[in-house]
Structure 1
Amino acid sequence: MLLSPADRAGSTGSSGGVLTVDLGAIQRNYRRLVAQAGGAAVAGVVKADAYGLGVERVAPALLEAGCRTFFVAHLTEALALRPLLPDGAELFVLNGLLPGDERLCAESGIRPVLNSLEQVAAWSALGLSLGRRLPAAIQVDSGMSRVGLAPQEVEALASDPARLAGVETVLVMSHLACADEPDHPANAAQLAAFETLAARLPAARRSLANSAGLFLDARFRFDLARPGIALYGGAPNAVRPNPMEPVVRLEARVIQTREVPARAGIGYGFSVVADRPMRLATLSVGYADGWLRSASNRGAVAFQGRRLPIVGRVSMDSIIVEAGEAALAPGDLVDLIGPEASLDAAAEAAGTISYEILTALGHRYERRYLSANKGDRP
């Protein structure tokens, strides 16, 4: 469970804010997704430092929950993660490999996601030079126009199997562009395209569903699902209530409070001018900590059941809120994200998505990790 007020009162106070990550909640979310997958395997997407939450803590928690397949974006991420995983765990690099990185990837027991004929050729050539077929995933572009083999490139592989002579195809995958909108026609179109393209490639496990895709119908699940944001408590889509458990609590420390008269300018540019006498509180978190400047004059924080609106522009190291009658004092912690200020609400107020909120979190917070079995750790 997340820290109680008594637990939080014991934090050091040397940082401007406290970021609490509930590893037990991540594990429960993983098991919830396994149940949703209906027999398909479920991987853990831990790119971008596990969405900003600390891959060195998150990956072992997922392992403990039964996860054995992991995805990151870059080879550098995979090289850092590989020592934390057992030999039997699969680790894939979603962006594939840059020219010259093939041997390091193979020697490290990492599996690239091959997104182009050039990547296929380089990986196959290395396999042939080593006298063995090297495992890899092949990604096809089913309509997102981002990465993956285009239909004509898939056909080139299908018509010339020798191109894959040095490759052991262990996974064929694609990515959904609109799964967070369950009724979007692109979902059915991408499903059909993926099935057609995958049928032209060597027999292997198939993977299409991301977090949102897991909550579409069973046709999208195939053999392996790749949830990301849902593991970390984000809503898989905006249409239905969020079925995932909150993972993050983000708190900012009060620097000072003040009374200002009517017509006082507030913050940079005086984007707000007090229309009455106001009581304000300045919090020690700003855009350098990942609290986005787009949240200026939007959204709110929470303290003891009270909603405290953000007033003025978000600064590099601070934000100002209207404190009203809240019994705030320097050193108190208020919730930016927490039981009364959800991750998705914070994202909406900043005009963005939960992914950006999490991955933007800076490194100045005091970080605390809660485990289902071991309590809280700094």
Structure 2
Amino acid sequence: MGTSILHIDLGAVTRNWRALDAKSDASVQTCAVVKADGYGLGVGKVARALMKAGVKTFFVAAVEEGVILRQAVGPTPRICIFSGHMAGDTDMVLDMQLTPMLNSLDQITRHFNALPDHPFGVQLDTGMNRLGLEANEWSTVRDLVIGKKPMLVMSHLACADEPNHPMNAQQLAAFKDMTDGLDVPRSLAATGGILLGADYHFDLTRPGIGLYGGLPFDDAEPTVRVECPVIQIRDVAVGETVGYGNSWIAETPSRVATVAAGYADGITRHISNQSVLFDGDTPCPLLGRVSMDLITVDVTHLDHKPRSLDLLCAHQTVDDLADIAGTIGYEVLTSLGHRYTRRYRP
């Protein structure tokens, strides 16, 4: 075993989807966001598992992701594109039967001119100032767009991971003001929005990070384990240093394991000298700097030579590691590189 192993639990992904699906009324369609290669876990395998669980509609970031997903799942599910209908996308949108979420007047013009009878949705900006039509733009084209029968009108919450943030109620009010009375399916909630309650659910929800074991879904099952093989174990005397920059110095006689993982595998240097790896239930401190391919770990307290150590596991989730690194679980997941040996559990 020369490279680290990324263990991926597809059963946990589908159980997380079912748990989020159960939080809304039966009339609400629960979809799945599988952008960024299924949040780094492999979009084809993730999407096929979710289809078996009941998912009929997927969301991805860009048309290129939609093409890969369509090739993986076949013609049945709807595939929606958050970034909309960009210049140069027309042939792929048509050939792969993708549904763009139109974000601007330019995109609306492009789509209606190039593919006047092709399905589409519309994204509205309710205050995040990132994607979507602003209120004045929407009022100008609303009747025209609704007359073309969009499959969805959606927006996105900026602060849904903070339930008491006033921005949530502000965006909800803006979304209702822009869409109440329209005979078209509506969507506002991703994972955080689902957890805010029924007022945010509308007709369709779009869970993403919660499917993969991340916050703000506290009850999510972990979906990944990173197992790092031990390449070598050495004795380090008092006063000797470990790794680049001499950033760790032994104060007592120590045994140090070198494991096969590093920042080329998406394990950020920000966790240097701060995190732990696990031998079963036993934490083993990370020593020195994370380098490109290697991490050094204190195993002095173990009564055996471990064959491997876990960086991500039930004891240390993506959000735990993210807290140490000063980032978020999304970044940890989507940074996991392609050098891992991937093992899938159904």
Calculate the TM-score normalised by the size of structure 2: 0.95
The one-letter code sitting in structure 1 at the alignment partner of 2:317 is: S
- Name the stretch that deviates more: 268-277 or 87-96: 268-277
Q: Deviations over 1:212-270 (max 9, x none)?
A: 11111210011111111111111225xxxx21111111110111111212222221111
Residue in structure 2 matched with residue 174 of structure 1 by the alignment: 155
Change (3 A) 1:113 1:163: closer
1:115 aligned residue: 103
Please say if residues 16 and 285 of structure 1, whose CA atoms lie closer than 8 Å, have aligned partners that are also in contact: yes
Q: Give the letter for the 2:230 counterpart.
A: V
* Structure-2 residue corresponding to 1:192: 173
The one-letter code matched in structure 1 to 2:4 is G
Q: Which of 33, 40, 55 lines up with 2:43 in the alignment?
A: 55
Shift of 1:195: 1.0
The DSSP-based 3-state class of the residue aligned with 1:316 is coil
**Is 2:124 the partner of 1:143?**
no
1:134 matched residue in structure 2: 118
| Aligned residues of 1:256 and 1:329 also touching (Cα < 8 A) | no
TM-score by length of 1: 0.87
State the aligned residue count.
345
1:69 paired to 2:57: yes
CA contact (8 A) 2:81 2:99 kept: yes
Question: Which one-letter code corresponds to 1:228 in the other structure?
Answer: G
- Checking the alignment, whether the CA contact within 8 Å between 2:265 and 2:337 is kept in structure 1 is yes
Look up the match of 1:346: 321
One-letter amino acid of the structure 1 residue matched with residue 6 of structure 2:
L
CA contact (8 A) 2:85 2:110 kept: no
**1:336 corresponds to which of 287, 311, 334:** 311
> Does structure 1 retain, via aligned residues, the 8 Å contact 2:194–2:201?
yes
Aligned residues of 1:134 and 1:168 also touching (Cα < 8 A)? no
Gap regions ≥5 residues in structure 2: none
What's 1:4 paired with?
Answer: none
**Percent same amino acid at aligned positions?**
43
Q: Aligned match of 2:297 in 303, 314, 321? A: 321
Q: Verify the 8 A CA contact 1:124 1:164 in the aligned structure 2.
A: no
RMSD: 1.7
In 1, the alpha carbon distance for the partners of 2:329 and 2:95 equals 36
Name stretches of at least 5 consecutive residues in structure 1 with no aligned partner: 1-12, 372-378
- Partners in 2 of 1:190 and 1:327 — Cα distance? 56
Structure 1 counterpart of 2:227, one-letter code: E
In structure 2, the partner of 1:10 is none
CA contact (8 A) 2:30 2:55 kept: yes
Q: 2:80 aligns with which of 72, 85, 92?
A: 92
Hey, what does 1:355 align to over in structure 2?
330
